Chain A
Amino acid sequence: MFDRDLWREIFQSINMNRTRSLLSGFTVAFAILLFTILFGIANGLQNTFAEAFVDDANNSIFIHSGKTTKAHKGLQAGRRIQFKNEDLSYVKDEFGNKVEFITARIYKNAQASFRNEQNSYNLRAVHPDHQYLEKTKIKEGRYINQNDLQNRTKVVIIGRLVEEDLFLKTAALGKYINLNGIQYKVVGVFTDDGGDNEERLIYMPVTTAQHIYGNNDYIDQINLTYNPEMDYDRALAFSSLLTRKLKDRFSIAKSDQRAIRVRNMAEGTKFVNIISYVLTGLILVIGLGTLIAGIVGISNIMIFIVKERTKEIGIRKALGASPRSIVSIILIESILITTIAGYFGLLLGVGVLEFAKPYLLEYFIKDPSVSNSLVIGATLTLIIAGAIAGYLPAKKASKIKPIIALRND
C-alpha cells in the first residue's frame, strides 16, 4: 500500500490544498511549541530547585548529643551525654563499610585578630574528612591533614570573608592569625557555595582544639556521610541502627528523643525527590493536555477536510477506490502534516528556549532545555498523535457512500 504512487497522491493533495494543510499544520505546530516551552521552563525550575539543595553532601548524617530526658537503667534523667574520640572510632569500626567520610566537630567562638583588625568568628575543629562533608572548596593552600592531627599543629584554614575582613587586601596564606591570644598559621583559604555565613568560618585540627581548650578528648558532634551506593531505604535503616547502637552504648532509653539526635539528610533528599516528582507530574499533565488539545485540533480539521473532500472521495470510490486506499490517503496525510508541523513547532520551541535562557535566569529558571530523548519521544508521539487524529476521520471517509457524495446538490 505504501508505494510511490500513494505518496504522490498525498503530496499532490497537500500541495494543491495549501491553505488547508497550512492551517492544520499551524494548529499542531502551535501545540507542540507551547508544549516544548512549558516543558523547558518546568525543567528549568526543577534544575534551580535541585541546585538549591546541594550545598552539603546530600548523603550526610549528623549526630548531636544532649541531655537525657528519661531515667534508664538506674541512671537519672538530665544526664549530659558527651561524645569522645572513642565514640567516633566506635562508629568507624562498627559500620566501616557503610561510612564514606567521617569527622568530629567541636564548636568554639574565636576572637580573631590580625594587626589592627579584629572580629569574632565561629570556629570548628574537625577531621580532614570534613572537607568532603561540607563540600568546602580550597581557594589557596591546603585543608587540614593527618599530620596536623598527629602533631596538634597550630594551623587554621579560614574562609574567604575572614581573609577579607582581617587581612584587607593582602593575602592571608602563610601569615599568623591571633585566636583568643594564641597565634595560628593560616595554611589555607576556602570558599563555600553555602553562602556568606559558611565563608565566615575558621577550621582547625580537632586534636589541636582538644589540647588547647581543656586538654580533653571531647567532641561536640559527629558528622558522617553514608556509602552513596546505599539507596534511600537502606540509608534510613542505617541511621536508625546507628541511633539504636549509640543509645545502647550510652545507656539511653529508646524513646529518649533528646539525648542523641541523628539527623539523616536522606529525609531531606526524599523531600526534594517528592517535589521533583510532583513537578514532573505537573509537567506531564500540562504537556499531555497540550498534546491532547493538539490532537483534538487536528482531528477536528481532518473531519472538516473529509467533509470538504466528500465529493472527491465519492468520485474515487465510483472509479474503483477500495475503502483501504481511502483510509491510507487520509491517515497518511494526517500523520505527515502532524509530524512535519509538529517537528517544526519543536524546533521553534527549542530555539525560543535557547534564546530566552539568559533572561529566564532572573526568574529562577536555570538551563530550561529539553533533552534529546524527549525530542525523539515527542516525534514518535507526534506520529502516533497524527495516526490517532486521522483515524476516525479516515474511517468516516471510507464509509462515505459514493451515491450520497455524488448527488448534484
Chain B
Amino acid sequence: MLKINQLHKSYPIGDSSLHVLKGIDLSVEEGEMVAIMGSSGSGKSTLLNIIGMLDEADEGDYILDGLPIKDLTEKKAAVYRNKFLGFIFQSFNLINYKNALENVALPLYYQGMKRKERQELAMFHLEKVGLADWAKHLPKELSGGQNQRVAIARALAANPKLLLADEPTGALDTKTSYDIMAFIQQLNDEGKTILMVTHEEDIANMCKRIVRLRDGVIMEDKKVEQVRAEQHV
C-alpha cells in the first residue's frame, strides 16, 4: 500500500539547514492502523506531510499504491491528493463560511462530480458520522467533536485509499477524543488504512501499530494489542 525508502528532508534555517528526517524506512499494508509518535521536533509531522503530498522529500523513494510519488506538478499532486488521500487535522480546517454539508461535498466538487450527486453522497457520509441533522449548520455552530466528525466525513467523502490524521484528538477533551477514536477504529474495522500522528500514549495504544521517531530516525516499530475506545466511553 505504502512504501518509503531512505527518506531525507531538511529545512533551511538562515545559512544552515535543519536535517529533520534522516533516512526513514517505512511500509504500511492495506488495512493497517498506524500511530506515529515522537516528541515535538522528532519529524513526525514532516513525515505525515510528505506522505500526504503536502510537502516533498529531498531524497528517497515514496511509493503509494504502486505509484511513485516524485517530482509531481502542482496539478498532479492535487489530483493524487483528491483521489488517494483523506486528511483529518487537529484544528479541523473546515471552511468557516460553508455549512457542514458543503464542507463535506468540497472534495467531490474538485473531483468534478455533479452538484446533486455530490450533495447526496455528502449527506450519506454525514449520516454515517451521525450529523445528518446538522447538515445546514456552519462550523461555528457546532461543537469541537461535531466539527471533527464533519472533517472525518469530508475525508471519507472522496473514498480515499489512505486516511491521514494529524493529532485528530489534539483539540478535544478526553471523552470526545475517545468518541472520535471509536469512530476511527470503526472505519479501520471496515478496511480503511489509517495513519495518524499523535503524542498521546492512550490514543496511540488504540492503533494496531506504533512507530516511534526521535531526531529524524525510527527508534521503534512494533505491533500492539489494540485498545478499543468504546471501553473507555
- Chain A residues close to B by CB (< 8 Å): 4-5, 9, 12-13, 16-17, 311-312, 314-325, 398, 401-403, 406, 408
Contacts and interface: CB of A to CB of B under 8 A. Distances in A.
Contacts of B175: none
B160 to A, nearest CB: 10
A312 B78 CA distance: 15
Contacts of B95: 312, 315-316
B115 A13 contact: no
A408 B49 contact: no
Given A320-B111, A401-B54, A406 B75 contact: no
A24 to B, nearest CB: 16
Contacts of B93: 311, 314-315, 318, 406
A359 to B, nearest CB: 46
Interface in B66-106: 74-75, 78-79, 81-83, 87, 89-91, 93-98, 102, 106
B97 A17 contact: yes
Contacts of B154: 319
A320 B158 contact: yes
Contact of A318 (B81, B83, B96, B97): B81
Contacts of A311: 93
A319 B95 CA distance: 11
A314 B94 CA distance: 11
A157 to B, nearest CB: 80
Given A319-B81, A319-B106, A319-B107, A12 B97 contact: yes
A319 B49 CA distance: 14
Nearest to B102: A12
Contacts of A325: 110
A17 B96 CA distance: 11
Interface residues of B, number: 30
Contacts of A402: 54
Q: Give the top 4 A-B pairs by smallest Cβ distance, nearest first.
A: A320-B82, A16-B97, A320-B110, A403-B54
A408 to B, nearest CB: 6
A13 B158 contact: no
B97 A323 contact: no
A317 B80 CA distance: 11
B54 A322 contact: no
B221 interface: no
A402 B80 CA distance: 14
Contacts, number: 69
B78 A321 contact: yes
Contacts of A322: 74-75, 78-79, 110
Interface string B175-191: 00000000000000000
Contacts of A408: 90-91
B54 A320 contact: no
A13 B95 CA distance: 10
B109 interface: yes
A12 B94 CA distance: 15
A214 B158 CA distance: 111
21 contacts: A5-B109, A9-B109, A12-B98, A16-B97, A17-B97, A312-B96, A314-B93, A316-B106, A316-B110, A320-B110, A321-B78, A321-B110, A322-B74, A322-B110, A324-B75, A325-B110, A401-B55, A403-B49, A403-B54, A406-B89, A406-B93
Nearest to B118: A5
A212 to B, nearest CB: 94
Nearest to B90: A408
Contacts of A13: 97
A187 B160 CA distance: 102
Nearest to A313: B95
A223 B148 CA distance: 94
A12 to B, nearest CB: 7
Given A5-B115, A312-B95, A403-B49, A320 B89 contact: no
Given A5-B115, A401-B54, A408-B90, A323 B110 contact: no
Contacts of A323: 74-75, 78
Contact of B55 (A5, A9, A315, A403): A403
Contacts of B96: 312
Contacts of A316: 95, 106, 110
A403 B158 CA distance: 20
B138 to A, nearest CB: 9
Contacts of A4: 115
A19 to B, nearest CB: 12
B99 to A, nearest CB: 10
A312 to B, nearest CB: 5
Given A17-B97, A318-B93, A320-B78, 19 more contacts: A12-B98, A312-B95, A314-B93, A315-B93, A318-B54, A318-B87, A319-B110, A319-B158, A321-B78, A321-B110, A322-B74, A322-B79, A323-B78, A324-B75, A325-B110, A401-B55, A403-B55, A406-B54, A406-B89
